[in-house]
Amino acid sequence: MINKLLKRGATKTREISDSTGRGKHTTTTRGMYFLENGGIVIDNPGTREVGIADAGTGIEHVFDEITFLSKQCKYADCTHMHEPGCAVLKAIEKGRLDGAKYKNYIKLKKENEFYEMTHVEKRRKDRKFGQFVKKAMDQLKQIKP
């Protein structure tokens, strides 16, 4: 549907299921698409698999190289995403740490943080996303005559 609305292949698609006659879940991440007529389509895929719950210490062990580097960061609460003096980002920049491994680490950390959130925190996050969408739509209206 998104590809038809955009008139291009922006999202990956799969064949229709023979057994159900319905489409198969393909997208796995949330996406926002801006249409030519000023509309916005948000793809928020359904649940495909259960995420990792309570994996904080496991992540630290699996990514022990990053854990070791993080002890050399300028700030004790470094997120390893944008802070100056981050030893992890410096190691990536110098080619001493694989960028794909780093991306997996960040993805798992974010997923773990989400599962550790309380119901109230998750609702707050959803509200903030809704506010973001509203603001984007308002800005789009100002651009389009």
* Count of Cβ atoms closer than 10 Å to residue 129 Cβ: 14
CA distances from 74 to 9, 33, 70, 102 (A): 44, 38, 9, 18
Q: Is the dihedral of CA 81, 84, 86, 92 positive or negative?
A: positive
More confident residue, 143 or 128: 128
pTM for this model (two decimals): 0.48
* pLDDT tens readout for residues 85-135: 999 999 999 999 999 889 988 888 888 887 777 878 888 888 999 999 999
Gap between the Cα atoms of 115 and 58, Å rounded? 14
Averaged pLDDT of the chain: 82
**What are the structural domains, with CATH classification, of the chain?**
1-49 (no CATH), 56-116 (1.10.40.50)
Contact between 73 and 86 (Cβ < 8 Å): yes
pLDDT of residue 33: 80
* pLDDT tens readout for residues 34-53: 888 878 887 777 655 555 55
Gap between the Cα atoms of 53 and 69, Å rounded? 25
